[in-house]
Each structure stands twice: as structure tokens, then as C-alpha cells.
Amino acid sequence: MYLANGLIDRLGEIILQSEAVPGISSGKSKSKAKSSARPTNPIEVVTDRNVAGLLAQRVIDSLANAGWSVNISVTPAGENIKTSATVAKLHNHWFELGYDRNTPVIALGGGTVGDVTGFAAATFLRGLPFWQAPTSIVGQVDAAIGGKVGINHTRGKNLIGCFYQPAGIVIDPSVLDTLPICERCSGLAEVVKYGVIADRTLFRACERHLESWISGDEAIPDSVIECCARIKLRIVAADETDHGLRRLLNFGHTLGHAFERWGNYRALRHGEAVALGMVGAGWMAMKRGQWSGRDFARLAAMCTLLRPRRLASFKAFDIARHLTVDKKRVRGRNIWILPRGIGRVDIRGDVTEKEIRGALTYIADWMHG
């Protein structure tokens, strides 16, 4: 993983010098190029319309300056591109361009672009070298790290996919400066999540600065992005395929995904749904007596800044019925991440319907009461 400001303009040379550098690098490695790709070889950039307007030219220039022959595919923006039709379109295009197993593919964009591009790269000729260049907060702290790639199915989000580790992840926090408030808000929900599951200092920093990070009065420090990325790397290194520790990353996501499904993936941004889910899981933990009311109130105060401004009213059942299509269910039970302290959480499979109803009723009152 490479993390530093300005790396987006150095992608070309970084990929050329892609001898594995363990841990986090500033991208200044002088290691000899390992890839058999040489300048003038093709390289593919997949991005969406929103990001293309802001960053594509810089990336194309950086790659071309390093000698690559750049092809760019621009998709529409949004979750709707995560379909088998998009994957087929990319594959057809790549066959036409004569790509072989050495052709690198770069996902330039948020989690959506990373997911669908990674899945297309993983399945083309049994795998092309795949690079993540995330441009959203969610992408930089979470989605681009860990090798989860995939598309949606009519039955739910990310139900078709695989684990395919990128050849490299290039994180340039300076590209976050142009994000609109709603995107910052959505991404910061994931940052708060890392505070709760793994890092008290990060949690306290969020408490102090969240409001001005959201408004843009203060830039989100690179150290915050790096802290989250390091937590994610550490967790994924311990449990790549999501059978143990990696489930911690699901804090707020069990109910969050149900809210997203209820809203047809349009009514709520991912982070907004996660904010609702974190309040629900926190409430359950408090009611179980395993988490203090004071810490729950600290989390809820932050989620008040992150939750959706408007939300159609709902009954507990409207949301709960969407829990049954969660791909993380084990033997018919959802997996819940419940806090025990700040930076300390449990993985539980024994949450009852009554607790779920209680949490959803609490969230409904908190939103609309």
C-alpha cells in the first residue's frame, strides 16, 4: 500500500516500480520494476463520470509520462453499475484491445468503481494485475483495502463476488479535498466505526473534529486516513476471508445493510445507513449491560451529525425483514458486532428478535421523535 499526498500524479512510475513494498510506503521506493510490462504496453483505467471530470487527465498524464499506452473506460456513476452487464462490457472491450495477463487495470474512483473493476479484473483470463486508486473516504479507509470485489444481484448488494487482492493500493488523501459534504459525511461514518472497534484515540479525535471535518472547515488529516487504513490492513492480514476478526469491520453494517436494502440503495448513502446501524448496535450493547450509557451517548452524538437529514418513517418490521438476505448470516443467524468499550467489541450471533425490534424502534424515535 502506498499512501501520501500527490501520489495520483505518480501512478505511472509506481506501477512500473511495483516490486512489492510491504506495509505502507510513501511511493518513493527505488526498487527495480518487477512487472513484465514495459512502457508502451497497454494499461487500463476504469473510472466513473464524476471522477473522470476531476482526475482522469492527471492520471492519464502520469501514466503516459511513464510510457504506458493508456486506455480509459468511463462508466456512469453510482451503485447501479455493479452488474454483470458492466463486467461483460469491460471484458468485451478488453478482448477487443487484446489485453493479456500482464495488462494492469486501475480502478480510479470510490468503492463502487473498485468493486466492479476488481471483479472484472479478477475474472478476465483468470486475473489481471489490479490496482486500486481510491478517491473517496470510504474507498481510502475501507473498500479498496482487503480484496473484496464483486457486483450486486437482484437479491442484494455484493452477493456475487470473490476475494482478489490488488497488486497495489495507491492512496492520495489530497484528492478528498474536492468531495462534497454529503460524501464526506458518508465516509466519516466508517472512520467513526474504526474508532469504536479498534482505536480510542481515533474515537476521541472524531469527537473533537467531526463537525469541522464534515463542514470542510478543517481538512481531514492524512494521519486519520492512514490510521484507518492501517487498522484495516491489520485485520485483513489476520483474517483475509472474513471468517473471524474481519467481521469486526461489520460494526453498524448488519442493520446498515438492511436500511440500505429497505431504501432500494437510493434513499440512503452507505455511511448514513452505517450511522443508523451503529446506533442500533450500540443501543443493544447498552441494553445488554455490556456497554456504558455514557459511551453510547458519545457515539450517538456523532451519529446525529452523520445520519440522513430526512428519512421516510418506518416500522421495525420494514427494516428487520431485510436482515434475512445478509450474506454474512451463519446458519440462519445474523452476525452482530456489539461494543464493550471504546476500541473493544464482541462478535455475537445470539441477538434476539426482541432486541432487534427494540433497537429499530429506538432508531425510529431518534430519527423522527
Q: Return the range that interacts with ligand GLY (CB under 6 A); candidates 10-18, 142-150, 151-159, 209-217.
A: 142-150
Any contact of residue 230 with ligand GLY (CB under 6 A)? no
48 or 242: CB nearest ligand GLY? 242
27 or 187: CB nearest ligand GLY? 187
Task: In angstroms, give the least distance from the CB of 208 to ligand GLY.
Answer: 26
Any contact of residue 249 with ligand GLY (CB under 6 A)? yes
Task: In angstroms, give the least distance from the CB of 82 to ligand GLY.
Answer: 14
238 or 297: CB nearest ligand GLY? 238
Any contact of residue 79 with ligand GLY (CB under 6 A)? no
The residue whose Cβ lies closest to ligand GLY is 249
Any contact of residue 326 with ligand GLY (CB under 6 A)? no
Among 10, 246, 269, 307, the residue binding ligand GLY under the rule CB under 6 A is: 246
Any contact of residue 295 with ligand GLY (CB under 6 A)? no
Task: In angstroms, give the least distance from the CB of 223 to ligand GLY.
Answer: 21
17 or 250: CB nearest ligand GLY? 250
* Gap between the Cα atoms of 215 and 225, Å rounded: 17
Any contact of residue 142 with ligand GLY (CB under 6 A)? yes
Q: Return the range that interacts with ligand GLY (CB under 6 A); candidates 2-10, 79-87, 166-174, 242-250.
A: 242-250
10 or 246: CB nearest ligand GLY? 246
142 or 172: CB nearest ligand GLY? 142
Any contact of residue 44 with ligand GLY (CB under 6 A)? no
Q: What angle do CA 211, 172, 158 make, to 5 degrees?
A: 80
Q: Which residues bind ligand GLY (CB under 6 A)?
A: 142, 146, 148, 242, 246, 249
